[in-house]
C-alpha cells in the first residue's frame, strides 16, 4: 500500500522541466543532490527506491540490536595469532571465529559480534531488497497498459537474477565459512562464481539498453562473447588463487585482476558514453535528452563507487592504518560490500531509465537485442560453466586439503 505521508510533498522544482541542459551545474553532480532527488518519488520516476531503502534501513537499524539481541553473549572469537595464517586479515586483531564450527554455531555467530557479522548482513539485506525489487518491476511491467514486451525485458531480468545471486552467495559464504576448511574454500568458490556471473549479467544489460548507438550497431557476438570468456576465465583464476596458490600477495593480485578485467571490458563502451556525454556542454549524441543525461549521471556514480570498492579491497583501509580499531565494524570488507551493492543500485537505476526512454529508438532502429541466443541460452550455459568450475575446484580441495587446519593447541589460548 502506498504511504503518501511517508514522503515529503513534491516541490515546485521537481518537475521534469528542471532537468535541462542549463542546470548542469556542479551541484547536480553531487551524490547528495542525487540522493535528495531519489527521496522524492514524484521527481525520480525510477530511482526513488534508493531513498526509500536508505530511509527504511535508518528506521530499522536502531531497533536491530534489541531485535537481534546483538551481542547475545560473548561468542567464541579468537585473536589473530590464534588462527591459521591463511585466515588472518591485515589490521584485524580480534573477532575471528573458530575455523571449525557447527551449523548452529555459525547461525548464532550471525547475531553476535565477530568480524564476519556485518559481512553477512551487508549482503543479506541487499539480496532481499533485490528480490523484492525484481518482483515489483515484473509486476509493474505486467500491469502496464503499454507494457514492455517480454523479449525487451528479458536481458534486464537475467541481469537482476545475477544481481540477486552474487550478494546471496557472498552472504552464505561469509555466514557459513566457519563450518570447515573445505567448506570455506567451496563457499568462496561459489561467491567468486556468482560475482563473475554478475559480470556477464552486466555486459548483457549494457548491450541491451545502455551502450551508445555506435556500439549497439556493432556485432554483439564480439562484445558478449568476450564477456562470457572473461566471466569463466575469472572464476578459474580466482578459484586457482584459493585452491592452489599459497602466497597471500599473489592470491590478492590474482583476485584483483580477475575482478578488474571483466569490469574493464564490460565497461569500455560505457566509458565511451560517459566521455561523449560529459565532454560537451550542449546535448551530445550520448545525452540527447534530460532523461538520458540523468541516466548517464547514475552510470557515472556507479563507476565512481565501483572504483571506491576496488580501492577498499586493494588497500585494506582503514584497518591498515588503525589496526585493531575496525575489527567488527567499518573494516575494508564491510566497505567493499556496501560500495559494491551501491554501485549495483546505481547501475540498475541508470539502466531502468535507459530501458524506458530508449525503447522506441532501439526497436525502430533495430538496435535492440533481437537474438534470444545471448539472453536465454548463453546465461544458462555460463551458469552451468560456473557450477562445473566450482565442482572441479571443490573436488580438488576435497582430495588435496585436510578437512581442518588446527588453530588451537596448548600454546594458543582459545576463548
Ligand atoms: Zn565479501
Instruction: Calculate how far, in angstroms, residue 297's C-alpha sits from the geometric centre of ligand 1.
Output: 27
Considering the chain, what is the average pLDDT of its residues? 78
Cα 135 from chain centre: 18
Instruction: Calculate how far, in angstroms, residue 171's C-alpha sits from the geometric centre of ligand 1.
Output: 7
Q: CATH code at 150?
A: 1.20.1070
Q: Which three cell numbers stand for residue 325?
A: 580499531
User: Residue 51 — pLDDT band, cuts 50, 70, 90?
Assistant: low
Residues 126, 132: Cα–Cα separation, whole Å? 10
Q: What is the per-residue pLDDT for 11?
A: 42
- How many other C-beta atoms lie within 10 A of the C-beta of residue 373? 13
Domain contains 136: yes
Best-predicted range by mean pLDDT (143-147, 353-357, 360-364): 353-357
pLDDT at 81 over 50: yes
Instruction: Calculate how far, in angstroms, residue 117's C-alpha sits from the geometric centre of ligand 1.
Output: 11
Residues 221 and 353 in one domain: yes
Final residue belonging to a domain, choices 41, 67, 93: 67
Task: Calculate Rg over the CA atoms of the chain.
Answer: 23
Instruction: Calculate how far, in angstroms, residue 205's C-alpha sits from the geometric centre of ligand 1.
Output: 23
Domain contains 79: no
Instruction: Calculate how far, in angstroms, residue 119's C-alpha sits from the geometric centre of ligand 1.
Output: 6
Q: Mean per-residue pLDDT for 106-118?
A: 86
Instruction: Calculate how far, in angstroms, residue 324's C-alpha sits from the geometric centre of ligand 1.
Output: 19
Q: What is the per-residue pLDDT for 46?
A: 47
Q: Mean per-residue pLDDT for 47-75?
A: 54
User: Residue 9 — pLDDT band, cuts 50, 70, 90?
Assistant: very low
Q: What is the per-residue pLDDT for 146?
A: 52
Residues 199 and 304 in one domain: yes
Share of the chain above pLDDT 90, in %: 30
Q: What is the per-residue pLDDT for 30?
A: 46
User: Residue 37 — pLDDT band, cuts 50, 70, 90?
Assistant: low
Q: What is the per-residue pLDDT for 296?
A: 87
Longest alpha-carbon distance in the chain? 74
Best-predicted range by mean pLDDT (170-174, 318-322, 352-356): 170-174
Domain contains 190: yes
Best-predicted range by mean pLDDT (100-109, 259-268, 403-412): 259-268
Residues 156 and 228 in one domain: yes
- How many other C-beta atoms lie within 10 A of the C-beta of residue 403? 12
Instruction: Calculate how far, in angstroms, residue 138's C-alpha sits from the geometric centre of ligand 1.
Output: 29
Residues 216 and 356 in one domain: yes
Instruction: Calculate how far, in angstroms, residue 174's C-alpha sits from the geometric centre of ligand 1.
Output: 7
User: Residue 403 — pLDDT band, cuts 50, 70, 90?
Assistant: low
Instruction: Calculate how far, in angstroms, residue 118's C-alpha sits from the geometric centre of ligand 1.
Output: 10
pLDDT at 200 over 60: yes
Residues 45 and 180 in one domain: no
Q: Give the domain extent around 48.
A: 18-67
Q: Which three cell numbers stand for residue 99?
A: 575455523
Q: Mean per-residue pLDDT for 254-274?
A: 89
Q: What is the pLDDT of residues 125-161, one digit of tens each?
A: 999 999 999 988 887 776 555 555 677 888 899 999 9
Q: What is the per-residue pLDDT for 189?
A: 93
Q: Which three cell numbers stand for residue 316?
A: 585494506
Instruction: Calculate how far, in angstroms, residue 375's C-alpha sits from the geometric centre of ligand 1.
Output: 28
Instruction: Calculate how far, in angstroms, residue 331's C-alpha sits from the geometric centre of ligand 1.
Output: 11
Instruction: Calculate how far, in angstroms, residue 369's C-alpha sits from the geometric centre of ligand 1.
Output: 33
Q: What is the pLDDT of residues 113-124, one digit of tens each?
A: 888 888 999 999
Q: What is the per-residue pLDDT for 295?
A: 86
User: Residue 291 — pLDDT band, cuts 50, 70, 90?
Assistant: confident
Residues 178, 303: Cα–Cα separation, whole Å? 33
Instruction: Calculate how far, in angstroms, residue 332's C-alpha sits from the geometric centre of ligand 1.
Output: 10
Domain contains 384: yes
Instruction: Calculate how far, in angstroms, residue 310's C-alpha sits from the geometric centre of ligand 1.
Output: 12
Instruction: Calculate how far, in angstroms, residue 325's C-alpha sits from the geometric centre of ligand 1.
Output: 19
One-character DSSP codes across 177-222: GGG-HHHHHHHHHHHHHHHHHHHHHHHHHIIIIIS-HHHHSS-HHH
Instruction: Calculate how far, in angstroms, residue 14's C-alpha sits from the geometric centre of ligand 1.
Output: 38
pLDDT at 4 over 50: no
User: Residue 19 — pLDDT band, cuts 50, 70, 90?
Assistant: very low
Residues 161 and 219 in one domain: yes
Instruction: Calculate how far, in angstroms, residue 335's C-alpha sits from the geometric centre of ligand 1.
Output: 10
Instruction: Calculate how far, in angstroms, residue 383's C-alpha sits from the geometric centre of ligand 1.
Output: 20
In the chain, the number of structural domains is 2
More confident residue, 374 or 228: 228
Domain contains 361: yes
Residues 43 and 162 in one domain: no
Q: Mean per-residue pLDDT for 199-227?
A: 86
pTM of this prediction? Answer: 0.76
Q: What is the per-residue pLDDT for 66?
A: 54
Instruction: Calculate how far, in angstroms, residue 292's C-alpha sits from the geometric centre of ligand 1.
Output: 33
Q: Mean per-residue pLDDT for 328-333?
A: 87
Q: What is the per-residue pLDDT for 243?
A: 86
Instruction: Calculate how far, in angstroms, residue 213's C-alpha sits from the geometric centre of ligand 1.
Output: 36
Instruction: Calculate how far, in angstroms, residue 36's C-alpha sits from the geometric centre of ligand 1.
Output: 29
> Contact at 8 Å (CB) between 302 and 343?
yes
Amino acid at each position: 500500500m502506498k504511504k503518501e505521508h511517508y514522503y515529503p510533498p513534491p516541490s515546485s522544482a521537481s518537475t521534469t522541466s528542471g532537468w535541462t541542459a542549463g542546470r548542469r551545474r556542479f551541484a547536480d553532480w553531487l551524490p547528495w543532490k542525487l540522493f535528495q532527488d531519489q527521496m522524492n518519488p514524484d521527481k525520480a520516476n525510477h530511482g526513488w527506491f534508493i531513498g526509500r531503502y536508505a530511509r527504511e534501513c535508518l528506521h530499522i537499524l536502531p531497533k536491530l540490536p534489541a531485535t537481534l539481541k546483538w551481542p547475545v553473549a560473548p561468542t567464541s572469537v579468537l585473536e589473530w595469532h590464534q588462527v591459521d595464517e591463511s585466515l588472518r586479515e591485515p589490521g584485524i586483531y580480534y573477532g575471528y571465529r573458530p575455523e571449525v564450527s557447527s551449523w548452529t554455531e555459525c547461525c548464532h555467530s550471525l547475531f553476535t559480534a565477530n568480524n564476519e557479522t556485518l559481512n553477512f548482513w551487508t549482503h543479506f539485506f541487499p539480496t532481499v531488497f533485490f528480490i523484492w525489487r525484481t518482483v515489483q518491476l515484473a509486476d509493474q511491467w505486467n500491469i502496464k497498459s503499454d507494457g514492455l514486451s517480454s523479449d525487451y525485458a528479458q536481458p534486464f531480468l537475467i541481469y537482476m537474477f545475477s544481481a540477486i545471486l552474487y550478494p546471496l552467495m557472498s552472504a552464505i559464504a561469509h555466514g557459513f565459512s566457519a563450518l570447515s576448511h573445505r567448506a570455506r574454500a567451496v563457499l568462496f568458490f561459489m561467491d567468486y562464481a556468482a560475482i563473475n556471473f554478475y559480470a556477464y549479467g552486466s555486459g548483457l544489460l549494457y548491450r541491451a539498453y545502455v551502450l551508445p548507438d555506435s556500439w549497439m550497431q556493432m556485432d554483439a557476438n564480439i562484445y558478449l562473447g568476450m564477456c562470457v570468456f572473461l566471466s569463466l576465465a575469472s572464476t578459474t583464476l580466482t578459484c586457482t588463487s584459493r585452491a592452489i596458490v599459497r602466497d597471500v600477495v599473489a592470491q590478492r593480485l590474482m583476485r584483483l585482476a580477475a575482478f578488474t578485467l571483466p569490469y574493464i571490458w564490460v565497461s569500455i563502451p560505457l566509458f565511451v558514453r560517459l566521455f561523449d556525454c560529459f565532454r560537451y556542454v550542449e546535448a551530445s549524441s550520448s545525452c540527447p535528452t534530460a532523461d538520458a543525461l540523468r541516466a548517464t549521471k547514475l552510470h557515472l556514480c556507479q563507476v565512481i563507487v565501483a572504483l571506491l570498492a576496488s580501492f577498499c579491497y586493494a588497500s585494506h583501509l582503514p584497518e591498515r592504518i588503525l589496526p585493531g580499531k575496525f575489527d567488527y565494524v567499518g573494516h575494508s570488507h564491510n566497505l567493499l560490500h556496501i560500495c559494491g551493492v551501491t554501485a549495483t543500485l546505481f547501475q540498475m537505476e541508470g539502466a531502468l531509465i535507459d530501458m524506458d526512454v530508449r525503447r522506441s529508438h532501439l526497436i525502430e532502429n533495430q538496435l535492440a537485442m533481437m537474438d534470444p541466443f545471448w539472453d536465454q541460452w548463453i546465461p544458462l550455459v555460463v551458469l552451468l560453466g560456473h557450477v562445473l568450475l566450482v565442482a572441479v575446484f571443490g573436488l580438488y580441495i576435497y582430495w588435496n586439503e585436510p578437512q581442518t587446519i588446527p588453530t588451537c593447541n596448548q600454546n594458543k589460548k582459545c576463548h
